[in-house]
Amino acid sequence: MVNAQYEDLKKRFQKTYEALGRELLRVRTGRASPTLLDGIRVNYYGQPTPLSQIANIQVPEARLITIKPWEANMVKEIERAIQLSDLGLNPANDGQIIRLSIPPLTADRRKDLVKQVKKFGEESKIQVRNHRRDVNAALTALKDGSKISEDDLTRALKKVQDETDAAVKHIDEVIAAKEKELTEI
pLDDT tens-digit readout, 107-130: 888 888 899 899 999 999 999 999
The pLDDT, as a whole number, for residue 34 is 82
Beta-strand pair 91-93/98-101: antiparallel
Strand partners, 64: 61, 101
Q: Do 113 and 96 fall within a single domain? A: no
Q: What percent of the chain has pLDDT over 70?
A: 98
Using CA atoms in the order 82, 86, 88, 90, what is the torsion angle rounded to 10 degrees?
10
Tally of domains in the chain: 2
For residue 27, pLDDT beyond 80: no
Nearest to 9 by CA among 147, 166, 151, 123: 166
Going through the chain in order, the beta strands assigned E by DSSP cover 41-44, 47-50, 55-61, 64-69, 91-93, 98-101
Answer yes or no: do 118 and 77 share one domain: no
> pTM of the predicted model, to two decimals?
0.73
- Single residue among 101, 123, 152 that ends a domain in this structure: 101
CA distance 23 to 38: 10
Q: Based on the domain organization, do 165 and 118 belong to the same domain?
A: yes
Domain final residue, candidates 47, 70, 101: 101
